[in-house]
Amino acid sequence: MSESERPHHRRPAFFSPSALEAHGGAYDPTEEIHVAHETAAALVHAGRASADPELTTRLVALVDDIGLSTLAELWSQRPARSLPGALWRLYVLREWVRRAPEEASREYAAGIRFTGPNHAIAGAADPPSPEEMGRLVDEILRGVFEGDLSVALERAAAFCRVVSAGRADVSVGDASAEQAANVLTMADDLSACARLWRSGGLD
């Protein structure tokens, strides 16, 4: 989940300067910011306003339908401590677990003995099998749309803290240490977003 492992993202084609100029318009970089925050807010509102479990399931699995690169174009450049920044990190977390469930299970299991309270907050069952990792991250994302969003963010932050500790324990080398630090930074950002949501300042 390090920055080096993430794909390079390009600006969405529908906001490219050449495309707008071809239609007589000028590229406005503030429009990308506006769209990022508006789409994030609309997604959360749609999920939380609906009592349809099928809609929630589709929102949780959004990346499966539209691809991580599409969300990256919308949200990856926004601040970590913003609604689109928080959603981006939650979907990246889910995608990592989906693609590397054994790695997620191994690192999470290794981190439990260092971060027992965070393991309890994350809510993973024992043993933290690859299947359990997938269930947990889906449950956390589901909480964004049908539960207390701040609790979902805190659970994701706790999950990241356990993984960070485990990665630091079972991996070797400077790259692994950097990756563990990146995951810990993600945890801090998600906790900050939870506080912002509770105070009405996450947008």
What is the predicted pLDDT for the residue at 28?
61
The ranges assigned to domains in the chain are 10-198
Low-confidence stretches of the chain (pLDDT < 50) are: 2-27
What is the predicted pLDDT for the residue at 172?
77
User: What region does 164 belong to: left with phi over 0, alpha with psi -120 to 50, or beta?
Assistant: alpha
What is the predicted pLDDT for the residue at 12?
31
